[in-house]
A and B are shown apart, each in its own frame.
Chain A
Amino acid sequence: MTCFTLDGAPVAFSPGQTVAAALVAHGVYAWRTTRFNGRPRGVYCGIGVCFDCLLTIDGRDDERACLTLAKDGMDVRTQAAAR
């Protein structure tokens, strides 16, 4: 089975899925919070426009989960609320 980790916890995915698709399929709908009110955010537009689904992927900040293809062993982390 192919897996990446979200903050260290394994998330299984099917080849060809984006990180966002895999997270939603895994039951994770929100992985970021808003700047002022701390409200939950996940996939909104799903096509790379809104920048709501940002994650740190393999050490790179501000990657869009909806545009990033999931890869085996990927280290995916949620970002600080300041972003």
Chain B
Amino acid sequence: MRVVIIGAGIVGAASAMYAARAGLEVVILDRGPIGSGTTSRGEGNILVSDKAPGPELDLALASRRLWTDLGQRLDGDGIELDAKGGIVVASSPDALRVLHEFALDQRAAGVRADETDPAGLAELEPQLSTSLPGGVYYPQDMQVQPVLAAHAFIADAIAHGARMVRDELAGAELRADGSLRAISCASGIRIEADAAVNAAGTWGGQVAQRLGGPIEVLPRRGFVLVTGPLPPTVRHKVYSADYVSNVASSDMGLETSCVVESTRGGTVLIGASRERVGFDGTMQPHVVAALARQAIAIFPTLRTAKLMRVYRGFRPYCPDHLPVVGPDPRVRGVLHACGHEGAGIGLAPATGALIAAHLTGQPVDGIDPVNHRALLPDRLLVQEMS
């Protein structure tokens, strides 16, 4: 069985790795370099802390287990995989109460979430503002350098027989019975394939259209600020409790809630803004200022840090905030693996294993499609008809 994976971002790379390891003949197709889309524009979040119980948390917990396995199988240090843990801090007693309720539900779903008072916060993060009423510590949260990880996944896929083609998907060619026969590319080449996986992230809507199984994936812009290298300042992934409600909201307008973490190189990354403004990539100084202000409120010592650069990207946003993972019921042979919004790095391994499981018809690395039915594309099509 030959499968073409469209997209060499983290999700396509993970899909290629698990599919190749499952013995499938894999071709990875991308118009650009590995990880050059949204994969290179985030912070490398592998989070369970920001997810309420439900299908996305189920996938996140499964994915976290796979990240741990991958850290041993691949060079975990080489991809900067770090089980540093996350801390969510509340800015007011009211916010803390809401956060504690959220954590209670998460614990019931298998997430480790430890209520932490100001003294506990100070022990975990000595430079944290002392005016915060408390927070929750999530030891399962991890961080990775996503572009290095995407490269490592694709190297592993290639070691298992996959090949990479630099081209842009143009269209799909179907057999008389409506199943996929081949895909065609912008350069004119044609690749015969039994299956095609739409792992095009934020561009997944366009790719789905070209494959004959349209789904809606929209861009949600975010900025990330990068400080110059600092002496050790931030030990964990630290973010404000507002982040959780911002992630879950569907608002078109600007939302900011700060997420702060250090990288191996000593820089501090400051996110996270969310806006639905299409693919408008222009610099927005007011967003940068808002993020910087919020970060300084949590870590006062950042006041004197210099910003080295600001980058921005476009999260692949699905209207119901769930990724689309599984076969398209309209075109036999077409599968989707996109729409992960800001969680694509963390969810990539489980998504890749789930795609390989759908392709082979059996569980892969403990990931069984029957446990992840809520992610199937069918739900979007039902909405279309109603």
Contacts and interface: CB of A to CB of B under 8 A. Distances in A.
Contact of A35 (B266, B306, B308, B309): B266
B231 interface: yes
Given A35-B265, A35-B266, A51 B231 contact: no
Contacts of B265: 35
Interface of B: 228-231, 265-266, 306, 308-309
B228 A54 contact: yes
Interface of A: 35, 49, 51, 54, 62, 82-83
Contacts of B229: 35, 51, 83
Given A82-B231, A83-B230, A62 B266 contact: no
Given A35-B265, A35-B266, A83-B266, A62 B231 contact: no
B265 to A, nearest CB: 7
A35 B229 CA distance: 9
The binding surface of chain B is classed by DSSP as loop
Most buried by B among A51, A82, A83: A51
A73 to B, nearest CB: 24
B381 to A, nearest CB: 46
B148 to A, nearest CB: 16
Most buried by A among B229, B230, B265, B309: B229
A82 B231 CA distance: 6
Most buried by A among B231, B306, B309: B306
A43 B300 CA distance: 31
A51 B266 contact: no
Nearest to B229: A83
Contacts of A35: 229, 265-266
Contacts of A83: 228-231, 266
Contacts of A62: 228, 306
A51 B230 contact: no
B82 to A, nearest CB: 15
A59 B231 CA distance: 18
A18 B215 CA distance: 54
Nearest to B306: A62
